[in-house]
Chains A and B, each alone.
Chain A
Amino acid sequence: MELELGLSLPNHTPIMMKGLFDLNCSSDNEMELKKNKSFLDDDDHDDEHGNVEVESNNSLSLFLWSGRQPNDEEDDSPQENWRKLHLNDGEIDEENHEIVGWPPINSWRRELLHHHPGGGWMVGNHRRGECLRTSMYVKVKMEGVAIGRKIDLRLYNSYHTLSNALIEMFAKYNVIGRKKVDYTILYQDKEGDWMLAGDVPWEAFIESVQRMEILRNEK
């Protein structure tokens, strides 16, 4: 079933593919589109640049490719409008300064990881007497190591488990040959003071810790 050719819009004359485009977006407008079936196979159209190739899907095309580049002309071309709209705002969730729906994770994961309390399945947790804490990521730096780490303190319930985890995490930074290394773990508290980890009860530590640093004392 062949559909009619070319829909002419009033006030618009169908503009033929004048030439070829350059994928590198140079100003020369030279580009080759794949030719499938020539949409308009009459001989009248402009052939001055050689190949006039218009992609068609063997039937109706509602708008003939004009070959104009974005930003060629008026400021309010669709692409220009898009750029104005999207470079500054986009669809930003005001509260969270996040783009709506990005990164693309579904609502189950988002609730679990974004630490928003609520939602049917998290309410069940209250039964177990745990309180839902919000994210407890703190930065941890090891002396002499350029890249710090961030850990979620909610995953640990004692200094013991925390220090084991930290040591494993930074184990790769042990220089070969130095087997016996002692670590001192310091943390910066709410007041900005650096304290030795382990002095106060775990709960007080969790309330107060802002970031941590690990010092190496080689024997």
Chain B
Amino acid sequence: MGYSFPEEALEHVLWFLSSDKDRNSVSLVCKSWYEIERWCRRRVFVGNCYAVTPEIVIRRFPEVRALEMKGKPHFADFNLVPEGWGAYVYPWISAMSVAYPWLEEIKLKRMVVTDESLELISKSFKNFRVLVLSSCEGFTTDGLASIAANCSNLRELDLRDSEVEDLSGHWLSHFPDNCTSLVSLNMSCSGSEVSFSALERLVARCPNLRTLRLNRAVPLEKLPNLLRRAPQLEELGTGAYSAEIRSDIYSNLAEAFSFCKQLKGLSGFWDVVPAYLPAMYSVCSGLTSLNLSYATLQCPDLTKLVSQCHSLQRLWVLDYIEDSGLEALSASCKDLQELRVFPSDPFGAEPNVFLTEQGLVSVSEGCPKLQSVLYFCRQMSNAALITIAKNRPNMIRFRLCIIEPQVPDYLTLEPLDTGFGAIVKSCKELRRLSMSGLLTDRVFDYIGTHAKKLEMLSIAFAGDSDLGLHHVLSGCDSLRKLEIRDCPFGDKALLANAAKLETMRSLWMSSCSVSYGACKLLGQKMPRLNVEVIDERGPPDSRPDSCPVEKLYVYRTVGGRRIDMPGYVWTMDEDSTLEFS
């Protein structure tokens, strides 16, 4: 007696499901639900481009409109992944150009995108709207010119933190005169000077433009021209924020800012001349996001500025803000959710600013909504961490970088185990943690015991033995990404927890003591993992099996071993011969 739920009704219901997790659950109910769901999934997120192949994605989801994908491991940001490692997007674009003619969005992070890929995108997808390239590389301004010229409905072009080879600034002029659809343009990472009049005309004819992030080459004197043509802007990234001190430039700028009543976010501020700061004061009270992390302003100017931003939710700033500036921040910005403090002199041997653990403690005390922290400093104490943990049990992301590796609690000279232990014990919703300073195996015991919601963990120069790694792999139930460098973790913990690796997206270990033999064993016995050894010293076979590998990257995959590896990457798999001497 089958009364079955009509397909159309189910499809209508599924329309409201945007979360991948929910859609994945739906597809597990029964075969017909699996079928209905796969035909109406429009957005696909691939967290690791090598975890699956384009063919598999296309076969399962034939009607995709938006793809979001990530490539290289996170530590590639810090030069730990050698050139040519992989993460090429071209095979995906090529396959999708045939399978998804109606594709609208592509968002990529840490991938290699060539001009060829960009040109193929621009010519293959008639309704293409959104291109976000975050920390990508491999393309030039010629590729951007193709996108500008051919994507007639483009809404977003965002190149945040990508490396673009600047052949010419003329790429911007390739936007046709009838292109009026831009909502977001982020060209802050490009170096070349674009034609200002072309930029001006583009901004003027796009009435829906909400986000505009300029590059350093756009001079401050010209900024008012753009602001006047786009008073509806919500997010602005300035170019260089410096000019000769002239009152006409100043008043022009101040007036232009005063017209922008919708501004919520500001960034840019390269080469800041403090005299021009008050020109933007009129927008401060409405700002929710402020990125001053490229602004070499000193403490007094910074303090004065942030103290006026009473609605601030996110602040990125250099450590010139010092403890006193952070104290002012904690008094003025009660809605603050995210704070990132970057080092102004990370390679200097001695502190150049008065920024200590106290600044972070103040903010944790004064800002009840603070949930996301990235903090670079030169000293820390267990007492401070315990206080922060007690103040902010709502912390979700906590990344602390004490600049000198393996530095102990500066008050007691003990390891910082208890401090970080307090963090994981108190902050029950903690999803991301990066640690630094002197840390023993004990901290990993605390993490394994308490950090049950932890999804991403970054470890450097920490731990004493395999026990540390074992605690993490066996205890952290929600762990998806684990990245480790320069820790004495070896074969035992890795092999004892091999199955755990299939429940995670990836594991990175560099400058640890995992032997080649263990890598081979792992690869041989775990066919659903790709175990990749990165070693620039030449083939690992030329060294004894007990020799530690330079770098190891392990990730789960249904796509099999990849075929685009450079000469210094070896995949350990079933074909690896096992030799025991």
- Check if A219 is an interface residue, CB within 8 A of chain B: no
Min Cβ gap B457→A in Å is 14
Tell which of B298, B345, B347, B497 touches A57, judged by Cβ atoms closer than 8 Å. B497
Q: How far, in angstroms, from A49 to B550 measured CA to CA in the complex?
A: 38
Q: Is the CB of A127 within 8 A of B474?
A: no
Tell which of A60, A63, A91, A124 touches B511, judged by Cβ atoms closer than 8 Å. A91
Task: Name the segment of A112-120, A179-187, A210-218 touching the other chain.
Answer: A112-120
B interface, how many residues as a size bin?
Answer: 35 or more
Min Cβ gap A84→B in Å is 10
Determine the chain A residues whose CB is within 8 A of the CB of B496 once the complex forms.
55, 61-65
A interface residues, Cβ below 8 angstroms from B: 3, 7, 9-11, 21, 23-25, 31, 33-34, 36, 55-66, 69-70, 76, 78-79, 81-83, 85-86, 90-91, 96, 98-110, 112-114, 119-125, 127-128, 130, 137, 149-152, 155, 165, 168-169, 172
- Check if B240 is an interface residue, CB within 8 A of chain A: yes
Q: Is the CB of B470 within 8 A of A81?
A: no
B interface residues, Cβ below 8 angstroms from A: 75, 77-80, 135, 161, 163-166, 189-193, 215-217, 219, 240, 271, 293-294, 296, 298-300, 324, 342-348, 350-354, 376, 401, 403, 405, 434, 440-442, 445, 448-449, 458, 460, 464-467, 470, 474-475, 485-486, 488, 490-492, 495-500, 503, 511-513, 515, 521-522, 525, 546, 548, 580
Instruction: Count A-B contacts at CB 8 Å.
Output: 204
Q: How far, in angstroms, from A102 to B522 measured CA to CA in the complex?
A: 29
Determine the chain A residues whose CB is within 8 A of the CB of B376 once the complex forms.
103, 105
Some 15 contacts from A to B, beta carbons below 8 A apart, are: A23-B441, A57-B497, A60-B499, A61-B495, A61-B497, A62-B525, A64-B496, A86-B486, A99-B405, A106-B77, A122-B216, A125-B271, A127-B217, A150-B352, A169-B299
Q: Is the CB of B298 within 8 A of A79?
A: no
Determine the chain B residues whose CB is within 8 A of the CB of A70 once the complex forms.
464-466, 488
Q: Is the CB of A121 within 8 A of B346?
A: no
Q: Residue among A10, A58, A82, A130 with the most chain B CB within 10 A?
A: A82
Tell which of A102, A104, A120 touches B166, judged by Cβ atoms closer than 8 Å. A120
Q: Is the CB of A105 within 8 A of B342?
A: yes
Determine the chain B residues whose CB is within 8 A of the CB of A91 once the complex forms.
486, 511
Determine the chain B residues whose CB is within 8 A of the CB of A57 once the complex forms.
474, 497, 499-500, 503
Q: Is the CB of A55 within 8 A of B525?
A: no
Q: Is the CB of A101 within 8 A of B445?
A: no
Tell which of A60, A119, A152, A168 touches B300, judged by Cβ atoms closer than 8 Å. A168
Min Cβ gap B1→A in Å is 34
